[in-house]
Structure 1
Amino acid sequence: MHEIAPTTARDHSVVFAPRIQDLLTRDGKVFRIDATTVGVSDCDLTARIVAARPVLSTERSVYKPAAGADIPHDSATRTIRALGQDVMAGIRTPPPPARGLSGGWPYAATSYLRRWLFASDPLPVSLLSKRGITRSDTLSRLVDRAVTAWPGSEAHGTSTVLAELIRGAAGTQERRQAIAMYRRATATLCDGVAALTGNALWLMGRTGRTGQPETDLTAALWETLRLLPPAWMLYRKGGGAYTGLHPEIRPEDNVALLPLLMHRHPDYWSDPLEFRPERWAGVADPEKTPGFMPFGFDGARCWAKHLVVPLAERLLTVALDHRLTIRAPRQDAPVPLRSLLSVRFEAEVGA
């Protein structure tokens, strides 16, 4: 049996939530998680499962139905393009004051990214991306209603393209869906990039250190996506399409695809538990590496994958340039059971 233990990276380690740790110590690449769920970390079987049927709209975090109806394909495409334009524009602008990165991670980084990329939007649209608003269902509903009734006046070219999609909606239903897409797209991007950047800072061992690390930041981010991928599990409902692919999968079973386990298995990686950014040196397209699926799988890849690493590298550069130092915990950081895998720690800029 190959036991996939917690990661130790230089002077740092992580403590996974018990249910994640239980998965990490399971034997085999196909195993039963509970009475109705089968876990899969086999690369070839995963590819066959993904190819067996298209992903359902309810299995997508951003494009699930909104305002009582499915999201039209052209609306989803416009959202992807708009978000890409907004992120590229944001990367080219000066970042907010770095003191905003002090505090509890990844939450400090999430709020920082929202200010960086979406603060130019007029009221009340800008409230859709405020973390204090998004944490409250009641406030979220009130803001949604306000934006539906009044999406803000023309901002003379300063608002984001995503906000303009709300203003340009052709009716109440279309506007409500545009609001839902704005909220989901901004949250998914900012939360994911914040988690990836925080995981990279922890793995790089930033406790009490100053100055730029010797590690190539792009390589460090790809290695972070291997060891601590924020998108650590993808869920597929109902095993009817998968029953012929493996005897463990029954028609009534759900399937959990587990990149976190795949990325740590010795069948696919040398020194699988070691943080080694140098393994990506000279790799032109990391996503073509066997056993590496940081942004999902063919036919259902992350819609913003082309934005995540460049934005995370920019945020990581800001953190390092301003000598962000991890203060607590000093040795073992918790990784709670959440939809995004992220290390929790306290940090301070300029310490």
Structure 2
Amino acid sequence: MESNPVTVAAHRHYGIRYDRQIQDLLTRETKVFRVDGTMVGVSDFPLVSAVVAARPVLAKERSVFKPAAGAEIGHDSATRSIHALGRDVMAGVETAPPPAQRLSGEWPYAASSYLREWLFASDPLPMSLLRKRRITSSDLLSQVVDRAVTVWPGSGGEGRGSMLGRQIVDAADTRERRQAIALYRRATATLSDGVAALVANSLWLMGPERSDVPRTELTAVLWETLRLLPPAWMLLRSGGDVYDGLHPDIRSEDNIALFPLLMHRDPDHWSDPLEFRPERWHGVGDPEKTSAFMPFGFEGARCWAKHLVVPLAERLLNVALDNRITLHSPEQQTHIPLRSLLSVRFTAEVAAA
């Protein structure tokens, strides 16, 4: 991949302290390795492609569209949810954002809450409780709210409320409503948390020069962040005979962990793989067709909202930069804990209005 002359400062990131288990992965030299007695890790691009092609993704391996209310999520229901969320995001980003002061606080949590309010503030009580972080982080509170919304979802009136929320109100029966509730809760959380993690990682990687980065560079910044610090850093596949013969270290009873985080740093596919270089994406028409680059998952199981992530992240990044966001962390170091979403942690403050 050719790169044009650098237009963003070469040394722009602060230090990052990875969780020990993530750091252990980053120091591995082999591309196929045993994680433990029941799991094999893979970062070799051809083998990753072969694992993905071996079978379709299972229902239990999905996140948003895994079974709910005692039944699998049907294709039609999933498609309606994707379209509804897309319309909600497009409508949301065309409206004025909430007050930027709400981006001050602990990231990525402040950014995630900000996005949920921005996109879904029109939904009525108790439906709006489905997207509150303090509630979604508690299984007990989530169950209580789910039951309340099942009985009375509320009504925002004609022309109000999100399209995703309308699926709850318009559900034909209790099971359909429970599934719509699950999809609403999962979709709002997955999109908001993923975009917040991506923007947090981008702000950190840009470093102190972030205010000097041309706005025309932000799309490239986001793609390079998806390469170097992809929020979707690991994907799991359940074991089975279908993987027999793909590699001598993979047994039929082994689960398989696929690591975009490692694959995106492979020097066989990337020049200066550890350097944050947004300019490498200049002139690249379709980044997802780049070899050894899978920021939104794999063929047949890609992120259902991938077409929304970069535009929404760019909008949020512009809001943060417009309001002169400042990042604070001890000794300019930040921590990445072991979580399902890979995201830096820091405290941020935006300029007073």
Change (3 A) 1:104 1:137: same
Task: Provide the residue aligned with 2:77 in structure 1.
Answer: 75
Equivalent residues of 1:66, 1:180 under 8 A apart: yes
Secondary structure, counterpart of 2:204 in structure 1: helix
**Counterpart of 2:135 in structure 1: which amino acid?**
I
Q: In the alignment, is the contact (CA less than 8 A) between 1:239 and 1:255 conserved in 2?
A: no
Alpha carbons of 1:11 and 1:57: their partners in 2 closer, same or farther (altered >3 Å)? closer
Q: TM-score, normalised by structure 1?
A: 0.95
Q: What is aligned with 1:343? A: 344
Which of residues 13, 16, 21 in structure 2 aligns to 1:14?
Answer: 16
Compute the displacement of 1:330 (Å). Answer: 4.1
Aligned to 1:248: 249
Instruction: Output the amino acid matched with 2:134.
Output: G
Question: For 1:111-155, what per-residue CA distance to the aligned partner results, in whole angstroms no more than 9, with x for missing partners?
Answer: 000100011101111111111211222211111111100111242
* 2-structure distance, mates of 1:210, 1:289: 26
Corresponding residue SS for 1:205:
helix
Contact in 2 for aligned 1:9/1:203 (Cα 8 Å): no
- Conserved in 2, the CA contact under 8 Å of 1:122 and 1:155? no
**Do residues 166 (structure 1) and 168 (structure 2) align?**
yes
- Please point out which of 127, 132, 135 is paired with 1:133: 135
Q: Is the 8 A contact 1:198 1:343 kept in 2?
A: yes
Corresponding residue number in structure 1 for 2:7: none
Structure 2 unpaired stretches of 5+: 1-9
Match of 1:317 in 2: 318
SS at the partner of 2:243?
Answer: coil
Are positions 1:213 and 2:235 aligned together?
no
Partner of 1:65: 67
Partner of 1:232: 233
Matched, 1:191 2:187: no
Report runs of 4+ in structure 1 exceeding 4 Å deviation: none
| Structure-2 change in CA distance of 1:308 and 1:210 (3 Å) | closer
Deviation of 1:187 (Å): 0.4
Cα shift at 1:244: 1.1
SS in 1 for 2:236: strand
1:73 deviation in Å? 1.0
| Corresponding residue number in structure 2 for 1:327 | 328
CA drift of 1:11 comes to 4.4
Alignment of 1:101-116 (within 5 A): 101-116=103-118
Gaps (5+ residues) in structure 1?
A: 1-7
Q: Distance in 2 between matches of 1:64 and 1:42?
A: 27
Letter in 1 for 2:69: A
One-letter identity of the residue aligned with 2:113? S
1:87 alignment partner in structure 2: 89
Contact kept? 2:116, 2:131, Cα under 8 Å: yes
- Kindly provide the CA deviation profile for residues 233-288 of structure 1, in whole angstroms up to 9, marking residues without a partner as x: 00001142112111110011000000000001111100000000000000000001
Q: In 2 relative to 1, CA 129–236 (structure 1 residues): closer, same or farther, beyond 3 Å?
A: same
Give the TM-score of the pair, scaled to structure 2. 0.94
Q: In 1, Cα distance between the equivalents of 2:180 and 2:122?
A: 18
The superposition leaves residues 141-199 of structure 1 with CA deviations (integer Å, 9 ceiling, x where unpaired) of: 11111110011124221200001000010000100000000000000000000000000
Look up the equivalent residue of 2:160 and give its one-letter code.
T
The one-character-per-residue Cα deviations of 1:40-68 (angstroms, maximum 9, x if unpaired) are 11111111111101100100111111111
**Counterpart of 1:117?**
119
Q: Percent identical across equivalent pairs?
A: 70
Size of the alignment, in residue pairs?
342
RMSD of aligned Cα (Å)? 1.4
User: Quick one: which amino acid aligns to residue 223 of structure 1?
Assistant: E
